Amino acid sequence: MIRKTIVLACLLSPAIAFAGHELDDRDIENGKTLYAEQCAVCHGAKLQGQPNWRSPNADGTLPAPPHDETGHTWHHDNQLLFSYTKLGGQGALEALGVTNYKSGMSGFSDVLSDEEIWDILAYIRSTWPKRVQAIQAGRNPPH
C-alpha cells in the first residue's frame, strides 16, 4: 500500500521544471555537423577557441573563445547564447543596451534557422561535463 501511495503521489505531483529547456530534445548530431560547417573555423573543431582569446586583437575585438568547459560560453543563459549566434555579438549586445563593447562575432540569421542554432547550442552543451551543464542550466529561467 505504501508503494502505491508513493507512486501515485509522484504521478500526481507537478513535474519539477529544469532550466535549460530550449536545449532539450534537440538534434545533437545535426548540431555537431552544423558546428563543424559554420563554427569550427573560428571556435575550433574541438571547441578550443582561438589562441589568446582573452587578449584583444588590434581592432579591439577578442579572438573567438572556446566553447568547451574552459571557456565562458556556459556562463551565459540560453537566450543570450541564441541571440549572440543569431544577431551576432554586436547586435545581441546592442539589443541589451550595451554599446561600449566591440564584438567580432558575426550573426547567422541569414545562414541558419532558429532550430539549427538551437541544435548547435545543444551540441555544444552536450560536450560539457555534467556539473558544468548543471551550472549553466541554473542560469536559465524555469519554464
- Domain residue ranges of the chain, discontinuous segments joined by +: 19-137
Answer whether residue 79 shows pLDDT above 50: yes
Q: Tell me what the mean pLDDT of segment 136-140 comes to.
A: 92
pLDDT digits (tens, 9 = 90+) for 8-65: 333 333 333 334 589 999 999 999 999 999 999 999 999 999 999 999 999 999 999 9
Q: Which CATH class is domain 19-137?
A: mainly alpha
Residue 13 per-residue DSSP state:
S
Q: What percent of the chain has pLDDT above 90?
A: 79
**Interatomic CA distance for residues 76 and 79, integer angstroms:** 8
